[in-house]
Amino acid sequence: MIALTTLVKINSERLRHDLDELAQIGETVEGGISRLALSNEDLEARAWFASRVEDAGLMVRDDEVGNLSGIFSSESPDAKTLLVGSHLDSVPSGGRYDGSVGVLAGLECLRTIKEAGISLPFHLEIVDFTDQEGNWQSFFGSMGLTGTLRDIQVNDLRQDTAAFRAALFRAGIHPNEVYQARRDPETLAGYLELHIEQGDRLDSAGMDTGIVTRIVGRTTYRVTFYGESTHAATTRREKRRDALQAAAQFITRMYDLLDDYPEGIFNCGDVHVKPGAFNVIPSEAALRVECRHPDEKILSEMEERLVGLAAACAQRYNLHATASVVMHRPGAVMAEPLIETIEQVCDELGCTHQRMISVAGHDAQVMGAFTPSALIFIPSRDGIAHNPREFTEWQHIEKGTTLLLQTILRLAHHA
């Protein structure tokens, strides 16, 4: 029996205290955080989270891919599990809200429901997914849970995965066992995620809540130009086979392509040059490039042009180039019934809301194809994210957590 849900309130002070305390783990001088997946800081944050769960008298669980959960168990014998998740890891020099807000809001909901003596028709599980940000492998945890990890991602003998494997072992994760983390979708009641928007649409519209309808697809490419390393001074200009020169032209012309794709995104933020000496012509330039577009068909057209451009730039400098897909994450559609439930709860709580598309990737993108999923956004000031200046007003965190809580209770009521 569900109590009058309006009488159940989150403990705002406790949540705030948790956020402040968590933000000290991996804190940077700029006031942000660096908590790269499987780093010392990440492991410390996970230990901290586990102790918060235990302090609340809840159950801690970790699976074979390192996902860490706090669970409030249902008494009903055939109960499924409602997952509520996000991530405690961060990008290098990231902000204190990205991911952390979702995990801690979930924890606060768990504690509030337990303290109110409510019994749920489903197990409620708050999960911190391993390596959402891709320090080693983006969405490693959610892909493990959904059974979509491919062997190539941990045991690829063509790549040097030794450091990744060592990091996994150190965190108590056995690379050969990660596939066992797969859950049966029949045992799940759905997935909810609360996250900061990381864009400025809500902030500039003065809106409380974004309810995501779909998350855009994206593909990451490795593009490598191969030339010849010879003496920088004695090699005649027409004989130079400079891999970096081709790469530089490739990057510039890649951004020019976006004139044809107003909704498309390219990004290159990772360049490795060999041999890496100032007085030697670069023989190799390896780039990682990301492509995103809300429309899958247009996305593949953008990718085709990208690959063609790499070949053209290589030819121009008498080089050889390869372009291979490192990762393709298809777009995901969020569950309409969950969207409608969240909209109703927003109306009852007096939260303004709008539907929106997410251009940033989230674990909800991986979960969406596995179990009915929803993604709720709260505003990010000026849309700044993956940056120490990332900021979300406290009232939005409070409202978002209340919305999450009341959504869980509503789902419990209708289960």
d(CA 90, CA 102): 13
- Looking at residues 92 to 121 of the shown chain, list those that interact with Zn ion (rule: CB under 5 A): 98-99
Taking the complex as a whole, the smallest distance from the CB of residue 216 to Zn ion amounts, in Å, to 15
Is residue 375 exposed (0-12), middle (13-18) or buried (19+ Cβ within 10 Å)? buried
Q: What angle do helix axes 394-414 and 12-23 make, rounded to 10 degrees? A: 120
Question: Binding pattern to Zn ion, positions 58-97, x when CB under 5 A?
Answer: ----------------------------------------
Q: Are strands 320-329 and 217-226 parallel, antiparallel or unpaired?
A: antiparallel
Nearer residue to Zn ion within complex by CB, 85 or 190: 85
Applying CB under 5 A, what is the total number of residues that bind Zn ion? 2
Taking the complex as a whole, the smallest distance from the CB of residue 198 to Zn ion amounts, in Å, to 7
Taking the complex as a whole, the smallest distance from the CB of residue 99 to Zn ion amounts, in Å, to 4
Which DSSP category does 116 fall into?
Answer: T
Question: Which two three-digit tokens encode residue 2?
Answer: 């569900």
Taking the complex as a whole, the smallest distance from the CB of residue 92 to Zn ion amounts, in Å, to 14
How many C-beta atoms surround the C-beta of residue 270 within 10 A?
Answer: 12
d(CA 54, CA 368): 29
Nearer residue to Zn ion within complex by CB, 100 or 112: 100
Nearer residue to Zn ion within complex by CB, 129 or 370: 129
Nearer residue to Zn ion within complex by CB, 141 or 282: 141
Taking the complex as a whole, the smallest distance from the CB of residue 153 to Zn ion amounts, in Å, to 20
Nearer residue to Zn ion within complex by CB, 66 or 99: 99
Nearer residue to Zn ion within complex by CB, 90 or 224: 90
Contact 289, 266 (CB under 8 A): yes
Cis peptide bond N-terminal to 275, omega within 30: yes
- Which of 287, 307, 306 has the alpha carbon at shortest distance from 243? 287
Taking the complex as a whole, the smallest distance from the CB of residue 206 to Zn ion amounts, in Å, to 23
Judged by DSSP in three states, 376 sits in: strand
Closest residue by beta carbon to Zn ion? 99
In Å, what is the CA distance from 229 to each residue of 28, 87, 271, 273, 351? Answer: 39, 43, 17, 11, 61
Taking the complex as a whole, the smallest distance from the CB of residue 386 to Zn ion amounts, in Å, to 9
Nearer residue to Zn ion within complex by CB, 99 or 368: 99
How many C-beta atoms surround the C-beta of residue 296 within 10 A?
Answer: 12
What does the binding site for Zn ion look like in residue numbers (CB under 5 A)?
98-99
